[in-house]
């Protein structure tokens, strides 16, 4: 009977552990603020494009990301406590089940109906012993089921913990990018609205040049992967380029796409923030330029992408340079086009490859 009581106690404790832990007030407060600042960012984005509005957006975004970091840290803390409890429960349940498995096996050996009839003082006592053994075995099966549930929950929550840690790392990286973008904005514009508007106009001019090239590009002919299609240059300077580099862009069905999804995995130097080498790329295309490669600006939100108001502040390609060669090679088969477009007071040279199926790769600032 003592064993049965212990089993019930363990099952009761495990049941408590399986009940979701209530969110702390702190976490709820953070989530309320996240909702508030998400709405504020939306409102700021709907207002006129001015330098002061852009600064206000950065301030709101930085605070919002800080809140998200706090939220993730709180969730990790709560999940960590829950995992600790599950570890204790798993240990206790495992020990209890191991002990009971031995005891139940012994009882089952003497639980043979013939032995019970012989050893019991009367038939009623034999029946009672037999039913008691059945109850014990039923409790063992229930305990095993609870143990399996606890083990599954533990695995799930350990995976959740790893996911949250990865999210936290990305959020901290985003925060650093946002702070760098605001600092870059203030440094370049020097709080001058006219200078800010001029930078937006330059970025828009480059976008117009790309659209013009796609509409009126001159067909050169078919190219194969590895064919030389141009040289890294600085065409478009000073209006639409600040230095010699290749802007490599991918469009799928007319939409901007992160080029790293097409490029082979490669270790390149992160020149955007000077943090060192980083491995990027998840596709099968060879890179269009030779090693060693430095990425001066990545796709997406970057310290400089606030200029691209037409894309919602997204840098639409990869800016890169090579320390070994200026040759630009086709990363895949297709049809090559070229175009020279006005870009403010400058002329920018653009080549692009139509790979078919709505896939186009563009190469800007070529010589």
Q: What is the pTM of this model?
A: 0.73
Nearest CA-CA partner of 3 in 85, 127, 103: 103
Interval 20-53: pLDDT, tens: 444 446 888 999 999 999 999 999 988 888 999 9
Mean pLDDT of the 330-334 span: 98
Q: Is the confidence at residue 314, as pLDDT, over 90?
A: yes
Cβ(299)–Cβ(322) below 8 Å: no
Pairwise pLDDT comparison (15 vs 143), residue with the higher score: 143
**Predicted confidence band of residue 158 (pLDDT cuts 50, 70, 90):** confident
Q: Are strands 293-297 and 218-223 parallel, antiparallel or unpaired?
A: unpaired
Q: How far is CA 365 from CA 70, 249, 268, 320, 328, in A?
A: 42, 12, 21, 11, 11
Helix (H, G, I), strand (E, B) or coil at 282: coil
Q: What is the pLDDT of residue 34?
A: 93
> Cα-flanking dihedrals φ and ψ of residue 22, to 5°?
-65, 140
36/307 Cα distance (integer angstroms) = 26
State the maximum Cα–Cα separation within the chain, in Å, rounded to a whole number.
110
Q: What is the pLDDT of residue 309?
A: 87
Sign of the Cα torsion 96, 98, 102, 108 reads positive
322/296 Cα distance (integer angstroms) = 11
Helices 193-216 and 51-109 meet at what angle, rounded to 10? 70
């Amino acid at each position: 009977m003592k064993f049965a009581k212990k089993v019930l106690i363990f099952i009761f404790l495990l049941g408590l552990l399986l009940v979701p832990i209530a969110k702390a007030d702190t976490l709820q407060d953070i989530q309320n603020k996240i909702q508030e600042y998400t709405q504020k960012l939306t409102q700021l984005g709907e207002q006129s494009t001015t330098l002061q509005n852009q600064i206000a957006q950065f301030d709101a975004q930085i605070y919002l990301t800080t809140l998200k970091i706090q939220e993730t840290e709180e969730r990790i803390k709560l999940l960590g406590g829950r995992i600790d409890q599950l570890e204790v429960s798993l240990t206790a349940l495992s020990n209890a089940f191991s002990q009971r498995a031995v005891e139940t096996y012994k009882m089952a050996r003497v639980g043979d109906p013939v032995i019970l009839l012989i050893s019991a003082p009367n038939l009623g006592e034999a029946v009672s012993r037999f039913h008691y053994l059945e109850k014990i075995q039923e409790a063992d099966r229930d305990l095993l089921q609870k143990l399996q549930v606890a083990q599954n929950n533990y695995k799930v929550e350990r995976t959740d913990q790893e996911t949250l840690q990865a999210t936290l790392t990305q959020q901290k990286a985003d925060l650093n990018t946002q702070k760098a973008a605001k600092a870059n904005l203030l440094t370049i514009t020097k709080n001058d609205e006219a200078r800010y508007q001029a930078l937006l106009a330059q970025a828009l001019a480059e976008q117009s040049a790309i659209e013009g090239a796609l509409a009126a590009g001159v067909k050169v002919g078919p190219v194969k992967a590895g064919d030389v299609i141009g040289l890294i240059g600085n065409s478009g300077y000073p209006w639409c380029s600040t230095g010699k580099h290749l802007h490599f862009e991918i469009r799928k069905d007319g939409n901007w796409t992160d080029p790293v999804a097409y490029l082979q995995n490669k270790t390149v130097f992160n020149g955007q923030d000077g943090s060192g080498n980083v491995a990027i790329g998840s596709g099968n295309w060879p890179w269009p330029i030779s090693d060693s490669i430095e990425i001066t600006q990545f796709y997406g939100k970057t310290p400089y992408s606030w200029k691209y108001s037409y894309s919602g502040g997204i840098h639409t390609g990869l800016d890169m340079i090579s320390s070994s060669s200026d040759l630009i090679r086709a990363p895949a088969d297709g049809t090559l086009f070229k175009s020279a477009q006005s870009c403010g007071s400058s002329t920018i040279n653009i080549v692009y490859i139509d790979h078919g199926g709505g896939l186009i790769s563009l190469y800007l600032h070529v010589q």
